[in-house]
């Protein structure tokens, strides 16, 4: 089984990214042929600093390596180093409905914020994402719950392409964790923890120092009433229960049983301690790895060469199917 997923090099990675994506990436190395991409081209669809972008690519690569990705057991590369992604994107636009792109939730949300210039790149973002996955014949795409709509669209694109041009592309499946797919902001537990739009105090970053993590959980918004249990009217406590269950690797009902008599302050302290223990090894390994930019570049370059060997075959098949290029 081939597994593919991509991560944007925008902003600092937070607990939601780590649980929803990075942990899945590491697990994927045990389950199949794992291919992971730092999608710097996707970063061009939102405001960015061209001087900062290469640095963020290295930061993201280091986070993934610190979390447990092994370049000997997976392919890790920078998206812009494999030009097959952009050519395949254009070829896939031939079978992508404009209406489908207009209905994408993230496009509507982000374009509404980009009032001065809502770019064509933002509009075509889902097609590039489809090309990222379809170029590798991936069977599985580990993503967070917010990417479900994108995976459904890439499936539709693959099916439509195969229907029109013959069986060429693998139709992938999303792999979304049952627990931890949506870690919520500690200050606004009705909103997802986010790199770009969440509050600083409500976002726990992977590289936060223990004192910062402790402070953020201590100030986490809870709910009226008492009792540590999940409920639709207790989004704050429900979020903390889910976080503790994930970092301890237990069922949420077990957390509820263990802490049913805990006061909110005591429970928040317990969650903070567990998260600190969970993230400390990653933070420490990050510090050891980040300064060796030469090694990081070598890993990404080797990954790109291995990725290109796969993607070029798919692109050749697609070109032949649509009639682009010389007659064979």
pLDDT at 312: 98
Q: What is the pLDDT of residues 45-84, one digit of tens each?
A: 888 899 999 999 999 999 999 999 999 999 999 999 999 9
| DSSP 8-state assignment for residue 44 | G
Q: Report d(CA 10, CA 296) in Å as an integer.
A: 18
Q: What is the pLDDT of residues 151-199, one digit of tens each?
A: 999 999 999 999 999 999 999 999 887 766 689 999 999 888 887 666 7
Is 186 within a domain?
Answer: no
Q: What is the pLDDT of residues 30-50, one digit of tens each?
A: 999 999 999 999 999 888 899
Q: Which domain does 315 fall in, by range?
A: 2-175+292-322
Share of the chain above pLDDT 70, in %: 95
Task: At 72, list the tokens.
Answer: 């000997």
In this prediction, residue 117 has a pLDDT band, given cuts at 50, 70 and 90, of low
In this prediction, residue 144 has a pLDDT band, given cuts at 50, 70 and 90, of confident
Are 143 and 214 members of one domain?
Answer: no
Q: To the nearest whole number, what is the mean pLDDT of the chain?
A: 91
Q: How many domains does the chain have?
A: 2
Please name every residue paired with 140 in a beta bridge, in sequence order, or none if there are none: 3, 173
pLDDT at 196: 67
Q: Report d(CA 301, CA 305) in Å as an integer.
A: 6
Are 270 and 312 members of one domain?
Answer: no
Are 19 and 105 members of one domain?
Answer: yes
Are 89 and 237 members of one domain?
Answer: no
Task: At 18, list the tokens.
Answer: 């780590």
Are 35 and 151 members of one domain?
Answer: yes
pLDDT over threshold 90, residue 298: yes
Q: What single string gives the DSSP state of each residue in 152-212?
A: HHHHHHHHHHHHHH-S-S---EEE--SSSSSPBPSS-TTSB--SSSS-STT--BTT--HHH
Q: Report d(CA 105, CA 111) in Å as an integer.
A: 10
Are 253 and 168 members of one domain?
Answer: no
Are 97 and 229 members of one domain?
Answer: no
Are 124 and 30 members of one domain?
Answer: yes
Are 26 and 132 members of one domain?
Answer: yes
Are 314 and 278 members of one domain?
Answer: no
pLDDT at 10: 76
What's the pTM value of the predicted model, to 2 decimals?
Answer: 0.90
């Amino acid at each position: 089984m081939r597994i593919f997923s991509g991560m944007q090099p925008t902003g600092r990675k937070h607990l939601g990214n780590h649980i929803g994506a990075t942990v899945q990436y590491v697990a994927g190395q045990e389950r199949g042929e794992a291919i992971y991409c730092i999608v710097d081209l996707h970063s061009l669809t939102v405001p960015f600093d061209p001087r900062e972008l290469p640095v963020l690519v290295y930061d993201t690569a280091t986070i993934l390596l610190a979390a447990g990705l092994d370049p000997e057991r997976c392919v890790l590369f920078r998206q812009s180093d494999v030009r097959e992604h952009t050519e395949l994107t254009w070829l896939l636009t031939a079978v992508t409905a404009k209406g489908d792109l207009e209905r994408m939730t993230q496009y509507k949300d982000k374009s509404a914020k980009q009032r001065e210039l809502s770019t064509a790149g933002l509009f075509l973002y889902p097609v590039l994402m489809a090309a990222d996955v379809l170029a590798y014949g991936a069977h599985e795409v580990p993503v967070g719950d917010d990417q479900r709509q994108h995976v459904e669209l890439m499936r539709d694109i693959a099916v439509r392409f195969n229907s029109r041009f013959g069986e060429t592309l693998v139709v992938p499946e999303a792999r979304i964790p049952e627990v931890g797919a949506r870690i919520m902001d500690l200050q606004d537990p009705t909103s997802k923890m986010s790199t770009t739009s969440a509050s600083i105090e409500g976002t726990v970053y992977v590289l936060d120092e223990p004192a910062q993590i402790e402070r953020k959980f201590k100030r986490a918004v809870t709910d009226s009433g008492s009792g540590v249990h999940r409920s639709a009217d207790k989004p704050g406590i429900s979020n903390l229960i889910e976080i503790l269950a994930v970092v301890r690797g237990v069922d949420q009902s077990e957390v509820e049983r263990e802490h049913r008599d805990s006061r909110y302050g005591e429970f928040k302290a317990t969650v903070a301690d567990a998260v600190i223990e969970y993230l400390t090894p990653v933070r420490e390994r990050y510090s050891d790895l980040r300064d060796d930019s030469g090694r990081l570049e070598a890993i990404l370059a080797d990954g790109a060469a291995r990725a290109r060997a796969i993607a070029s075959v798919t692109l050749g098949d697609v070109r032949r199917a649509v009639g682009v290029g010389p007659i064979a």
